[in-house]
A and B are shown apart, each in its own frame.
Chain A
């Protein structure tokens, strides 16, 4: 019992404590808090992507659609009607999930698979972007600012509260990942990811479970959008950004499909690197993309199970050597 506690709960708890103490290490500097919050946004999005992309094997590239819908929903509610974010957040999630259902149901119904699914999902991003650009009551070409802080409406003057909301959210997403992975749904999803036809022939309702995974993922990303809009302080149709979606999927793939801790760790390394590259070699804007691309190619060609698998192996090795020492 004690052993289970120490392995299954203590290690994640220690990790989260370290993450939660990050602002303290940097003396509550707002810039660092903001940077780490952005990293956490990517970590959350990629961990959520793991449900549909990693487990169910559907390469979904619509992350920016869901995040953007969440941003527009909660941002519009706040700027127009002064509705606080703790109401706007789940509503943003619901809108994103509804959109995912509206797009996902026919997509799975008409049996779009593999890269046609990836294409149809990535096409939804420019579609939404143009729609919001043309729909000037809500979007339009001018960015809309959220205005000055109103702590009662969950609009704080500092990035710190959002940072902690994101930490809590990442913990919740990882817990959810863990629960799904070790449940019937998780086994079904892995079966679908391995071979859809074989899974269907064994009596799994493929369409329903794929849709379930997609909606869970979209709901989380919609909620994430509500936090993201607070971090940035504005929303604009350009936030339906195709390269956001590709980054999320890239982190998920580099982290390893179906590996729970892969995506967050890779997000910390890569997005952090991106930020370091931005202020050290600021003029060379494309460098992070080159790094992403090279790492991604390397991972796919030489280590198809992802970097997460490496971490797992290292963890197991360390544990073994520790045990040996004890003996």
Chain B
């Protein structure tokens, strides 16, 4: 029988993991909300790739995964701009089917490249600074998740201030409302789109790097996390930052509790069933505007 302390402990760890998922979901929500472009392979192109890049940083330079976002984010920002220039801009205004097809193509390419370069064995980082756990009030908290959750909440706060307090953020919010009107007022929307795409990719790459402190990575992981990110997006709805954080936390808690109470294999099952029910019953999400 599962004790109450264990349940509470699991739920709190799930909450921390959920914050990290939410950061991954924020990148997706950023791109979808602002560009109206669906990156179907979001679990592969930024997330899995950034996990592998973090792994490489560790193997080649001995860089600790918790510091690797400092190096990874600029790389992924530039990669994001490259993808925007080549893929997203051409398919953005086209039919949804061609967006999905193009991003699935990208996803297959990244997955295949990962398997070519890093083979299909699971890879993980043997040791990081954030090992071990801290005990707070009788509950054991793994340091890696704790630091990861702090990083992700920090990123959420930065993004919140960026969107609400800076001129560029104001412009980005304006183009989500009405692109043509913003353009008439003399804003270079093309550059803003590029910037937002890069930021979206960069945000998810932070989540990938942080995940590497406690998780392993193999080429099939992209699809699993990718679906999870979409579940967060669907649960949160469009046009909210707060909602993405809450949705990620909810998912993390659900996943952790299912693993303890029922079975570890069933965790994804519950998440996906919630996803399908959400899609059917409340497609605009719990906190969404539209």
Contacts and interface: CB of A to CB of B under 8 A. Distances in A.
B123 to A, nearest CB: 14
Given A289-B111, A293-B109, A294-B109, A301 B116 contact: no
Nearest to B99: A115
A286 B101 contact: no
Interface in A78-121: 106-107, 110-116, 118-120
A206 interface: no
Interface string A102-145: 00001100111111101110111011001101100000000000
A57 interface: yes
A292 B230 contact: no
Interface residues of A, number: 48
Interface of A: 57, 59, 106-107, 110-116, 118-120, 122-124, 126-127, 130-131, 133-134, 242-243, 246, 249-250, 253, 257, 284-297, 299-301, 304
Nearest to B96: A114
Contacts of B273: 127
Interface string B180-204: 0000000000000000000000000
A300 B283 contact: no
B127 interface: no
Given A127-B273, A288-B112, A293-B112, A112 B279 contact: yes
B108 A106 contact: no
A134 B91 contact: no
Contacts of A242: 223
A118 B40 contact: yes
Interface stretch (B16-24, B55-63, B260-268): B260-268
Contacts, number: 142
Main secondary structure of the interface of A (DSSP, over half): helix
A302 to B, nearest CB: 9
Contacts of B279: 107, 110, 112, 116, 119-120
Interface string B88-119: 00110011111111101111111111111001
Given A119-B230, A296-B101, 20 more contacts: A59-B97, A107-B280, A114-B96, A114-B97, A115-B100, A123-B276, A126-B269, A131-B269, A134-B265, A253-B101, A257-B97, A285-B116, A289-B108, A290-B116, A292-B108, A293-B112, A296-B108, A300-B98, A301-B86, A301-B91
A119 B165 CA distance: 35
A118 B114 CA distance: 24
26 contacts: A59-B96, A110-B283, A114-B100, A115-B38, A124-B276, A126-B227, A126-B272, A127-B272, A127-B273, A130-B266, A134-B265, A250-B108, A286-B115, A286-B120, A288-B112, A289-B109, A292-B105, A293-B107, A296-B105, A297-B109, A299-B101, A300-B91, A300-B101, A300-B105, A301-B86, A301-B91
Contacts of A300: 91, 98, 101-102, 105
B265 to A, nearest CB: 6
Q: Which 6 A-B pairs have CB atoms at the shortest separation, nearest pair first?
A: A286-B115, A289-B112, A293-B109, A296-B105, A293-B108, A114-B96
Interface of B: 38, 40, 86-87, 90-91, 94-102, 104-116, 119-120, 219, 223-224, 227, 230, 234, 263, 265-266, 268-269, 272-273, 275-276, 279-281, 283
A260 to B, nearest CB: 18
